[in-house]
Amino acid sequence: MSTRTIPVVENILGANDRIAQANQGIFDSTRTFAVNFMASPGAGKTSVILRTVQALQGRYRMAGVDGDVATTIDADRMASNGIPAVQINTGGTCHLDAVMLSGALPKLNLDEVDLLIIENVGNLICPASFKLGSHLDVLIASVPEGDDKPYKYPKMYRGVKAVLLNKIDLLPYFDFDMDYFRKGVEVLNPGLAFFPVSAKTGKGLDDYIRWLTEQVDLYLAL
């Protein structure tokens, strides 16, 4: 039975990858830098994104795409910060895919967007398998999740360009081994950018924002 299901999975992912390439072609034609933010539920993904939006307002023209299984809560939060946002309700699917994103893009005027922020569905498994066409994939982890997540979900950590460890203000209250966590990350993804941050207090965010700004500026200068 496995030999009959493997080609089906490969076909699904192959079709998704082709649409992801088309999405990136749209981004490149409009000079729009797209960042895909991923995290587990409760890691503080939306809080980090809102901090990012607030820090970069006035520097870039921004827009957002928010994926969730239901509601428009996250898109409404982004819109309340003054940037256009489109909500994708997946209807229970545990990730965004390239097809979903391609359907949302016509709702945004990408010719007037320098930075597109994509908030993926909160999950540490499915989003890793489905490319969207983004230029940058960022994973947000958090202290309360525990220091073993890179070891338990290696595919998610292996495929990203940066990891933000959020909620470091809670380190005194959790048995979290920073060295163990970081070793797990770097074994999977040597040389990736790593930022311990707190979206609540703002600690560490300046270094992350500086790094993200460098990535966007480099792309826009091409």
Closest residue by Cα to residue 74 from 46, 96, 52, 101: 46
The Cα 163–Cα 184 span in angstroms is 12
Mean pLDDT across 15-37: 97
Confidence at residue 4, expressed as pLDDT on a 0 to 100 scale: 47
Residue 45 clears pLDDT 60, i.e. is over it: yes
pLDDT band at 10 (very low <50, low <70, confident <90, very high): low
Give me the helices (H) in the chain, please: 2-30, 45-56, 73-79, 98-104, 149-152, 154-158, 178-188, 205-220
Class of domain 2-220: alpha beta
Closest residue by Cα to residue 117 from 37, 197, 211: 37
pLDDT tens profile 108-123: 999 999 999 999 998 9
Confidence at residue 190, expressed as pLDDT on a 0 to 100 scale: 94
pLDDT tens profile 120-150: 998 999 899 899 999 999 999 999 999 999 9
Confidence at residue 78, expressed as pLDDT on a 0 to 100 scale: 82
Provide, rounded to the nearest whole percent, the portion of the chain with pLDDT above 90: 80
The Cα 193–Cα 160 span in angstroms is 9
Confidence at residue 1, expressed as pLDDT on a 0 to 100 scale: 46
Query: Which tokens in the block code for residue 92?
Result: 């229970």
pLDDT tens profile 155-209: 999 989 999 999 999 999 999 999 999 999 999 999 999 999 999 999 999 999 9
Confidence at residue 7, expressed as pLDDT on a 0 to 100 scale: 54
Query: Domain coordinates of the chain in residue numbers?
Result: 2-220
Confidence at residue 72, expressed as pLDDT on a 0 to 100 scale: 67
Predicted TM-score (pTM) above 0.85: yes
Phi, psi of 65 (to 5 degrees): -125, 125
The Cα 106–Cα 109 span in angstroms is 7
